[in-house]
Amino acid sequence: MSTNEIEDVKTTSQEVNDAISNIDSKRQIRLKSFVRMYFKIKNQENLKIESLSDIRNIYDYLLEGEIPENKLPDGKLFRNSFTRIGSETKTVHLPKTYENDFLPDLLEWIRFINSNQPSLFKAFIAHYYFEYIHPFNDGNGRTGRYIACVYLGYKLDPLTAIIFSSEINSNRKDYYKAFVDVENQKNYGEITFFVERMLKILVKGQKS
């Protein structure tokens, strides 16, 4: 519910309960794929992301039935059109427009998440750059947070992972400001403070 609410996508507890109750049924239930994915966190399963199609498969499975027809990927695997990040009056970031232009960035992102780097730092740096690349027209935040949560659940514990989105939702302003600060030209892409903020949100969630 929290990861949807961050994106102003309304979800009710009844819908979540229905999805959990029907997880093994063949009925088309909203959020069923979400629930299946979060059960992977509960079981501390890690994600294997070794190719571009792995990212697309996660997106399709997680957001099945959640993305409007006109916002589904329009490239071979990802977005292939203009998008912008920001409010109606202010642009925070303009990702690369065409799929072929940002595919090298996604390949570099895959290389990074599979590298031998300090776990939590890597998780949050990867989370920032996934949103920066913005490979989809819609659903980037939910997909990116899910990937981060799976990793946190695998490295730490399921409760820490599942509460992370809830804590971000409670600290939405601080969460988005962390992204904006990295985008500030005077910071030259410095990401230390972003990681520090994410760690504080993580600890806050663990304490609660």
- The pLDDT tens digits for 28-68 are 888 888 888 888 888 888 889 999 999 999 999 999 888 99
State which residues form the domain around 29. 2-207
Residue 56's nearest CA partner among 41, 40, 74 is 74
Contact call for residues 17 and 1 (beta carbons, < 8 A): no
Question: Mind giving me the DSSP string for 22-80?
Answer: TTTSSS--TTHHHHHHHHHHHTTPPP---SHHHHHHHHHHHSTTTS-GGGS--SSSS--
CATH number for the domain harbouring residue 151: 1.10.3290.10
Residue 96's nearest CA partner among 88, 85, 111 is 85
pLDDT tens sequence for the chain (208 residues): 888 888 888 888 898 899 888 888 888 888 888 888 888 888 888 889 999 999 999 999 999 888 999 999 999 999 999 998 877 778 888 999 999 999 999 999 999 999 998 889 999 999 999 999 999 999 999 999 999 999 999 999 999 998 898 899 898 888 988 998 998 888 888 999 999 999 999 999 999 8
Cα 105 from chain centroid (whole Å): 16
Cα distances from 50 to residues 58, 82, 90, in angstroms, run: 12, 26, 35
What pLDDT was estimated at residue 4?
A: 83
CA-to-CA distance for 208 and 105, rounded, in angstroms? Answer: 36
What pLDDT was estimated at residue 35?
A: 85
Classified as helix, coil or strand, 92 is: strand
Whole-structure pTM value: 0.89
What pLDDT was estimated at residue 78?
A: 98
What pLDDT was estimated at residue 199?
A: 95
114: which 2 tokens?
Answer: 């599979």
Instruction: Domain count for the chain, please give it.
Output: 1
Find residue 85's DSSP bridge partners: 93
What pLDDT was estimated at residue 29?
A: 85
